[in-house]
Amino acid sequence: MLLKNYKTILLKELFALYDEQEIDSFFYIILEKLHGLKRIDLALNPEAVMDGTHVKQWKSILSDLKIQKPIQYILGETEFYGLRFEVNENTLIPRPETEELVEIIINNEGKGKREEGKVRILDIGTGSGCIAISLAANIPNAEVFAIDVSDKALVIAQKNADINAVKVNFVNVDILKINDLKQLPTHACLPAGSNFKLPTCFDIIVSNPPYVRNLEKAEIKRNVLEYEPHLALFVEDTDALLFYRKIAELAKKNLSLNGKLYFEINQYLGKETVELFESFGFKNVKLIKDIYENDRIVFAEKL
């Protein structure tokens, strides 16, 4: 079968579930993953064919797409901030909004701005490690630590750090069960062979914690609701800012003077999130919109 013909098959089989642009994107993502070919390669060689093994692979991927399994989980990887990341059902799929968060931090804190000494960064709720690893790769002299409650997610995060040749110090701990980073509780786990202690003071704390309320589940697409980890997505309607409040408490004790906080937030709770951090005494609290004009990021300082 000609490779280019499978694009027509995808369009025919998936048009009821996805728009044409998304199906087109699927085709070229799969093309590169299975055949190592980009759009231009196929244009230059329109008679390229697939063998029997590849036909089976394409059919298997098509079957998964029909049940709306995310393409990133089907292929086991995605790209984030120009880096490659493995993902699976234990990690959220990194999103463009989170890239915007990373971009803001790098523009403010990286690109040669820290010429002397270390800048200590803590990523809370790291998941696949996309934030921590991207910051480690792009901020000179960064010493990056990352926490997650899921040990299975941290296995993937460590793989991703290795793939991208950066060092991130991962810790398995539930932040809701600690009151200070000075002493890790007995249930906290460090990777085998680790010889570091979690610092008690950080220059930057960043987090993309669970923030989707249960009442918003009706807005969530099936491919997210049925496949991505609810532990990393949802909070109770009655306490939607639970993680932000807890991180604010920790930051009062464990963020350095002039230290900075960066958060991805629920677009419907921007005002409430800003007021929360102001109530804890943080200064210069700013609400930042994403490229879709949604309230998406909160910045604050400890002065």
**pLDDT tens profile 173-203:** 999 999 888 777 666 777 766 777 788 899 9
The structure tokens listed for 228 are 């991505």
Q: How far is CA 129 from CA 18, 156, 224, 293, 303, in A?
A: 29, 8, 19, 26, 28
Residue 160 confidence (pLDDT) above 80: yes
Residue 165 confidence (pLDDT) above 70: yes
Answer whether 77's CB lies under 8 Å from 86's CB.
Answer: yes
Q: How far is CA 81 from CA 131, 137, 138, 201, 275, in A?
A: 9, 10, 10, 27, 30
Q: DSSP readout, 73-113? A: HHHTEEEETTEEEE--TTSPPP-HHHHHHHHHHHHHH-TTS
Beta bridge partners of 283: 301
Answer whether 160's CB lies under 8 Å from 135's CB.
Answer: no
pLDDT interval class at 4 (50, 70, 90): confident
Answer whether 173's CB lies under 8 Å from 198's CB.
Answer: no
Q: What is the pLDDT of residues 257-267, one digit of tens each?
A: 999 999 999 99
Q: Note the pLDDT of residue 111.
A: 58
Answer whether 35's CB lies under 8 Å from 61's CB.
Answer: no
Strand runs labelled E in the chain: 77-80, 83-86, 119-124, 142-148, 168-172, 202-207, 212-213, 234-235, 255-264, 283-289, 295-302
